[in-house]
Amino acid sequence: MAARIPAEERLTNLVVALMATEIGLTKQQILASVSGYRQRGDAKPDALEKMFERDKDELRALGIPIETLGDHADPNDLREARYRIPKAEYDLPVDIDFTPAELAVLRLAGSVWSEESLSNDAQAGVRKIRALGIDVDEPIIGFAPRITARDAAFAPLQSAIERSTAVAFDYLKPGEEAPRRRHVQPLALVEYEARWHVFGRDVDAHGDRMFLLTRIVGDVAVTNDAFPAELREGAGERALASLEAVAAAHSALLEVTPGTEAALRLGRRAHPAVQGIRLPYVDLHILADELASYGPEVRVVEPELLRDAVIARLRAAAAMHAEPLATGGA
């Protein structure tokens, strides 16, 4: 029996395959050719298709543009849809210049991700695609994989979800001086706005709760206290719906300098407004951290609490970098 391919490697192989050809691949070709799917020959076709749909959603959430191509005669006919990642989406604008030091760093990073660094399974998948009679562009290099490292709490939480066992961890909420111990029946891990959350039932609070993985302090303890696996059914959908509802109820009015990194990143998630952009958000403190990182590129018009939080962070950063006053000459 072939070893099961880790999810991260399967996603990387899928990216490689979808970037390898301009005309795209059908779902059947992907499931038969891409390592991570074809080893699961014992799985039901519906299960493999659901896995592919989840992988597509995760890659898109990470900012990787997966295009769905319909029939040439009828673009709305998606029965034999093809999927691809247009490499042009990763091309840098022609007017960007780099200093010699920046180029050195880029060359060093590029040496890590090269044709030779692709796994044997990924290269074999490209060969299988070529064997289908589909033209393949190679070498498949020059793009930065955006599968980011997950929080340390991710792996034990995922294991506990799969085993339907409760966990315990210390959780530090904004404004609290010390973390509090939480006992949770984890039901789903969801990614929202590039951050991972665990959704589950708080045993002590007797209700469903959402926890941000970056606020978990220390190790996650997986217990032997089992809970019914049926509780996990539809938990991911409920969690995302809950996050979307929170975001819909909270928004910030921002003024952003055009052409800046802030305009690029925030504009993808915001809606135009008479005075700048209107940005939905889930967590005021996390958004304040992000907005402060852009410095003068963004200004918070409202809400006032968010504006005060950003100002406090900027002042703290300025204080940390302030030069000490001279105390006299030698």
- Per-residue pLDDT of 46-65, as tens digits, reads 888 888 888 888 888 777 78
Question: What pLDDT sits at residue 74?
Answer: 59
Q: Is residue 245 part of a domain?
A: no
Higher per-residue pLDDT: 94 or 309: 309
Q: What's the structural domain count of the chain?
A: 3
Q: Are 208 and 202 in contact (CB under 8 A)?
A: yes
Residue 140 belongs to a domain: no
* Per-residue DSSP letter, 23: S
For 222, the token pair is 């997986």
Considering the domain architecture, whether residues 103 and 53 belong to the same structural domain is answered as yes
pLDDT class of 148 with cuts at 50, 70, 90 = very low
pLDDT at residue 146, as a whole number = 42
**Comparing 127 with 305, which gets the higher pLDDT?**
305
Residue 65 lies in a domain: yes
Instruction: Confirm if 183 and 206 have CB atoms less than 8 A apart.
Output: no
pLDDT digits (tens, 9 = 90+) for 153-178: 888 898 898 889 999 999 998 878 89
Is 34 part of any domain?
Answer: yes
Taking the CA atoms of 236, 237, 242 and 244 in sequence, report the sign of the dihedral they define. Answer: positive
Residue 127 shares a structural domain with residue 161: no
Q: Which residues contact 76 (CB under 8 A, 6 or more apart)?
A: 70
B/e letters for 6-19, b = 16+ CB within 10 Å, e = fewer, are eeeebbbbbbbbbb
When the pLDDT of each residue in the chain is averaged and rounded to a whole number, the result is 78
Does residue 147 lie within any of the structural domains?
Answer: no
Q: Are residues 123 and 209 in the same domain?
A: no
Q: Is residue 1 part of a domain?
A: no
Cα distance between residue 282 and residue 136, in whole Å: 42
Whether 223 and 271 map to the same domain: the answer is no
Termini Cα distance of the chain: 76
pLDDT per residue over 63-119, tens digit each? 778 888 876 555 565 667 888 887 665 555 556 666 655 655 555 554 444 444 444
In a domain, residue 149? The reply is no
For residue 24, being part of any structural domain is answered with yes
Range of the structural domain that residue 61 is part of? 7-131
pLDDT of residue 195: 80
Helix, strand, coil percent content, the chain, rounded in steps of 5: 45, 20, 35
Which of 200, 234, 268 is the endpoint of a domain? 234
Domain boundary, last residue among 62, 96, 131: 131
Do 63 and 158 fall into the same domain? no
Distance CA 139, CA 71 (A): 28
Residues 44 and 122 grouped into a single domain = yes
Which pTM was predicted?
0.51
81 and 107 share a domain? yes
Give residue-wise pLDDT tens across range 192-250.
876 889 999 999 988 999 999 989 999 999 999 999 988 888 888 888 888 889 988 99
203: domain CATH number? 2.30.30
Judgement on whether residues 124 and 11 belong to the same structural domain of the protein: yes
